[in-house]
Structure 1
Amino acid sequence: MVLQEQESPAPFPADDPVLAIAREMFIQDGWIDVRRLGTVSGVSRATLYRRYGDRDRILGEVVWSQASADLAGLREQHRGRGATGIAESVEELVRISFARHSMRTFLGEHTDTALRVLSSRHGVVQQRLITTVVEWIIEEIGEPADIDSHSLAYAVVRLAESFYYREFITGEPADPGAAGVIIGRVLR
């Protein structure tokens, strides 16, 4: 079975002034109050929604802006190391993200919204992360003969998510190390 790739909307420009304000709000509060964002940015709520979509999309764009910067650094650090490098990069992304106060607040205080924004196939975060992992798989280990790279990347991302969100879903502590080991085994 081949999973269908979902097209994620193109990210907004990194220097978008409204998203810069939203990013600062998120870093400080672990949340974005759209009313306050409109007031601080000088853009009406109607224009915010028309231009940027709903709060989930804005939250997703802000989280992705942080994750994509982290991923670029991790990619450079682990390039050329094959399956092990991919697994270590994903594990470190989980660690970095989990250590962020804003992400802990977002997940802890807005769990349902956070899970929807971060792991929904309709959001931007999961789809862009899967696309990134597809690129890494093709570059590092080549297109697998027995499964399409998108399905493999989807499995890698879902494994990472299951260990990242475990505390909020089952009450067990997050375990990025276990995620890294399992992902490494899946990719070999």
Structure 2
Amino acid sequence: MNAHPSEIVRMAARLVNQGARLDMSALAAELGISRTTLFRRVGNREDLLGEALWLLSDKTMRAADKRWHAMHGDAVRDPDDGLRCLWIMAWYREAIAGHQGMRMLLDEEPVAAIRVLTDPAGRVQPRVIQSYVDLLDRDVDAGGFVPVVDVKTLAYAIVRLGETFLYSDVLASRSPDLAAVGTLIGRLVDRGL
């Protein structure tokens, strides 16, 4: 089999999605290639894990965006004055928090999972930040709100704050509190702290 890197990433994402451990030797054997070839195509285990987690994250973000559109079309605010980007981000966090595969990864490999998910030079966090920049920019352009700081700084703050609460069980031995982080982010984005 001549597996393309994108196919390998999809296979790794399926494994993570199922809550299975990403074993590079087993994956190489399943693909019918050597570990060396696997590493040459997709990098080391953390590189592949990062790409797989990003693929799942991007899919989740797109689903949240589609959910908004199905409920409110192109509106920037819902009937209760809730801002589109805030709802999409909240649904994204909720889906990530409830994702069985993600929870298993965090439970079984907390150090590797946090490193891959929150590395500022990694494959997940910078892309999530960019997704948030895009969401915020879209709402600013539509006249939905005026941010208190530039959008890139705001997106960075939202992602870091979200990570702190979303992964608080691993980072600080506290239960994740999505309601609290939603309130804080809402104040930060839409009303200013």
- TM-score where L is the length of structure 2: 0.82
Aligned with 1:25 (options 15, 18, 42): 15
Residue 37 of structure 1 aligns to a residue whose secondary structure is: helix
* Larger radius of gyration between Structure 1 and Structure 2: 2
Q: Is the 2:148–2:189 Cα contact (8 Å) retained in structure 1?
A: no
Match of 1:175 in 2: 177
* Residue 37 (1) aligns with residue 27 (2): yes
* Residues in 2 aligned to 1:139 and 1:40: alpha-carbon distance in whole angstroms: 42
Match of 1:163 in 2: 165
Unpaired runs of at least 5, structure 2: 69-73
Q: Could you say if the C-alpha distance between residues 150 and 39 of structure 1 is closer, same or farther in structure 2, counting changes exceeding 3 Å?
A: same
Match of 1:49 in 2: 39
Structure 1 letter corresponding to 2:96: S
Aligned with 2:76 (options 78, 81, 93): 81
Match of 2:71 in 1: none
Question: How many angstroms does 1:48 deviate by?
Answer: 1.4
* Residues in 1 aligned to 2:21 and 2:93: alpha-carbon distance in whole angstroms: 19
Alignment of structure 1 residues 91-170 onto 2, 5 Å: 91-142=90-141, 147-170=149-172
Question: How many angstroms does 1:21 deviate by?
Answer: 2.1
Q: Is the 1:80–1:140 Cα contact (8 Å) retained in structure 2?
A: no
Q: Could you say if the C-alpha distance between residues 16 and 163 of structure 1 is closer, same or farther in structure 2, counting changes exceeding 3 Å?
A: same
* Residues in 2 aligned to 1:151 and 1:51: alpha-carbon distance in whole angstroms: 34
Structure 2 letter corresponding to 1:169: L
Report sequence identity in percent.
27
Deviates more, 1:43-52 or 1:74-83: 74-83
Match of 1:187 in 2: 189
Structure 2 letter corresponding to 1:90: M
Match of 1:64 in 2: 54
Residue 156 of structure 2 aligns to a residue whose secondary structure is: helix
Structure 2 letter corresponding to 1:62: A
Q: Is the 2:97–2:103 Cα contact (8 Å) retained in structure 1?
A: yes
C-alpha RMSD of matched pairs (Å): 2.1
